[in-house]
Each structure stands twice: as structure tokens, then as C-alpha cells.
Amino acid sequence: MHHLLCSGKSLGFLCDVKAIELGKDLAEYAKEKFNKYKKICVLNILFENFQCEANVFDLVYSATAFHWIPEDIGYPKALRILKKNGALALFWNKPFVARDDDLLHQKIQNIYQKYRSTNVKIIENDIERYKKISETIQSYGFRNIEVKLYHQ
């Protein structure tokens, strides 16, 4: 699931879960896999098109997907649908191998450099990048932002 929206006292399957998945096949797979859990609803829809009242969810969770949503749509919508003390949890996987002897990595980086809209090389531990992301999230009204980097 790319986006999970949870409401309820706990954040396990005891709460109501709305899972938003753009891919039709993956949404169907998730519906089938979790069909015995009556509190899980899988929607095959864009987060941008998801209709919801304000102040409904305790948690909006997205793993390796939220960056695809235009920030001026995604962050205000997430803030609007979260309860007052709700949380937005965003996760990204940044695989990074920088060894000169890793030929696959070097070939992939050459392709990125060819088609990337900028000539700026990606830095593995780009603290400034994560600082900017935090500032962007905060600019939309979120508070108590925490950034954690895990390696390996």
C-alpha cells in the first residue's frame, strides 16, 4: 500500500484503515489479502482524488510514494484530514552504493545523469536536502517535525 490512513485508539488492525493504492492490480491484491479484516478498506484511487471530511485520521502514512503527489496538494490535504494531534509519517528508501567497483551502480548513475533535469549529483547523506524537506513540510502547517536517517 502506498498510503495508509488510520483512525481509532490504536494503530494496529483494531483501528479503521483506509489504504489508498493507485495500481489497480496491487489494490485488488491487497483487498483479497486483507478481506478477513473488516476494518480495512482498500481504495484504488489517487490520494489527490480521495474525498474525506476534515479531522478524521490519527495517522497518514506513506512509504516511498508521497513525493509523487504535488506538495501544494498533498501536504495541505494530509493536514486537513488529520485530527489535531494526528501524525504524518513519510518514509523513503534511498539506496545508495558509491563504490567505484560497483559497475551496476555506475551504469545506473550514468543513466540518471543523462536524463535528470539538473546536473547536480545526488549525495548519499545530503543533510541540506532533508532540512529543506522538513522546512517544506513545516511551511504547510505541520509541527514537531522529526527526520531520522537509517543506514543499511
CATH class, range 3-93: alpha beta
Model pLDDT for residues 1-21, shown as the tens digit of each residue: 445 555 555 444 568 899 999
- Quickly state the pLDDT bin for 151 (edges 50, 70, 90): low
Domain residue spans in the chain? Answer: 3-93
What string of DSSP letters covers 34-78?
A: TTT-TTEEEE-S-GGG----SS-EEEEEEES-GGGS-HHHHHHHH
Q: Sheet of 3-7: strands edge to edge?
A: 40-43, 16-20, 3-7, 57-63, 82-91
CA 33 to chain centre: 21
Give the bridge partners for 43, in sequence order: 20
pLDDT at 11: 46
- Quickly state the pLDDT bin for 111 (edges 50, 70, 90): confident
87 Ramachandran zone, left/alpha/beta (phi>0; psi -120 to 50): beta
- Quickly state the pLDDT bin for 105 (edges 50, 70, 90): confident
In this prediction, residues 101-122 reach a mean pLDDT of: 77
> Can you give the pTM of this predicted structure?
0.76
pLDDT at 6: 59
